[in-house]
Homo-oligomer: A and B are copies of this chain.
Amino acid sequence: MPPPRIRNRRATINDVAAAAGLSRGTVSRVVNGERYVSDGAKTAVEDAIARVGYVRNSAARNLVTRESRAIALIIHEPHSLLFEDPNIGSILLGANAVLSKADYQLVSLIIDSDRDSRRVADYLRGGLVDGAVIVSARASDPIASAVRDIGVPSAFVGHPPGTPDLPYVAIDNKGAARTITERLAGTGRQRIGMIASAMDRDSGYDRFTGFRDALGARFDASLVVEYPLYTYAAGIEGMQELLRRCPEIDGIFAASDAVAAGAMTVLQESGRRVPDDVGIVGFDDSSWALRTRPQLSTVKQPADSLGRTAAELVLAQIRGLPSVAQVLDTTVVWRDSA
């Protein structure tokens, strides 16, 4: 019969000290790998730890050190985007990679309701994280201003208008859109339209204005349709509408690869050949681009780097270094759809 021991009581530093015949201070020092511990003490503590099964209590440690060594990544997306947007996974992995190397734990918080929004704000305020990267906040997003008020080191991925003036990392959506639109126009297309999406976000709005600028006088507002999300379904509907409005349309800029894929399906079902009859270009260079036939010409967005850079911006602030907004380069990947 085992001795009547109190369950549910984790070993503390005191237990280790007692078992090792040393003081709490020494135990703490070896646990934190500090200098000034004799080899004897070190090994004594180490196996005392093993014997009593000690693991240090993070809450107590955070309380005294006033840091958590954790960074939040806040995702505020409509449902469907969480499944469709290929960038978000890359951003997450990129951020995780640099934080992991710096020995910070990335914790992802998702906001899917107002209740979530408040709880996440409390989480940040409570000191459970030392910083935050906010991905895809829309203008007037309450979490954006909450982050600013709380004053926790932070960085935005993307730069929605109306967002507090905090560090961010973004791509030049407008310039990239202009470039690829010009390239499309350069293939001799006469009637170029756009399936725009997410106009309430910087990415969507900027891609549209880039498109408009590139076309200049040739821009025709009736050849632009607009949908809330960057989805395949938006591509389907958008292309149908565009075909209805102008059957002779011969060039399409889709706001994302998923949208382009949907549009291409409609185009081909209508008997049109791509790129012979209609040229089409997308945006993202996601796995969608390789899935269409012909493969998509598109803009390569460095999603992984967006995540990495955002993480670096936060780390810089934590270390008291200056941290300034960054705009990352994009490149055009020209394949066979235009």
A113 in contact with B127 given A59-B59, A119-B105, A287-B83 (CB within 8 Å): no
Copies of this chain: 2
B92 and A110 contacting across the interface, CB-CB below 8 Å:
yes
Q: Is the interface of A mostly helix, strand, loop or mixed?
A: helix
Stretch at the interface among A22-30, A37-45, A95-103, A168-176: A95-103
A112 in contact with B93 given A86-B83, A232-B291, A265-B293 (CB within 8 Å): yes
A110 and B96 contacting across the interface, CB-CB below 8 Å:
yes
A96 and B112 contacting across the interface, CB-CB below 8 Å:
yes
- From B83, B89, B103, B115, A90 is in contact (CB under 8 Å) with B83
CB closest chain-B residue, reference A262: B291
Q: Provide the residues of chain B in CB contact with A84, threshold 8 Å.
A: 287
B96 and A57 contacting across the interface, CB-CB below 8 Å:
no
Within 8 A of B (CB), among A218-238: 232
Stretch at the interface among A60-68, A133-141, A272-280, A328-336: A60-68
A59 and B128 contacting across the interface, CB-CB below 8 Å:
yes
Q: Provide the residues of chain B in CB contact with A63, threshold 8 Å.
A: 57, 59-60, 63
Interface string of A275-292 (1 = CB under 8 A from B): 000000000001100010
Interface string of A223-262 (1 = CB under 8 A from B): 0000000001000000000000000000000000000010
Q: Provide the residues of chain B in CB contact with A144, threshold 8 Å.
A: none
Within 8 A of B (CB), among A100-126: 100, 103, 105-110, 112-113, 115-116, 119-120, 123, 125-126
A89 in contact with B82 given A55-B125, A58-B126, A59-B68 (CB within 8 Å): yes
Q: Provide the residues of chain B in CB contact with A110, threshold 8 Å.
A: 92-93, 96, 106, 108
User: A79 interface residue, CB < 8 Å from B?
Assistant: yes
User: A269 interface residue, CB < 8 Å from B?
Assistant: yes
User: A56 interface residue, CB < 8 Å from B?
Assistant: yes
Interface string of A64-83 (1 = CB under 8 A from B): 00001010000000010011
Q: Provide the residues of chain B in CB contact with A89, threshold 8 Å.
A: 79, 82-83
Q: Provide the residues of chain B in CB contact with A61, threshold 8 Å.
A: 126
Distance in angstroms from A233 CB to nearest chain B CB is: 8
Interface string of A155-191 (1 = CB under 8 A from B): 0000000000000000000000000000000000000
B100 and A113 contacting across the interface, CB-CB below 8 Å:
yes
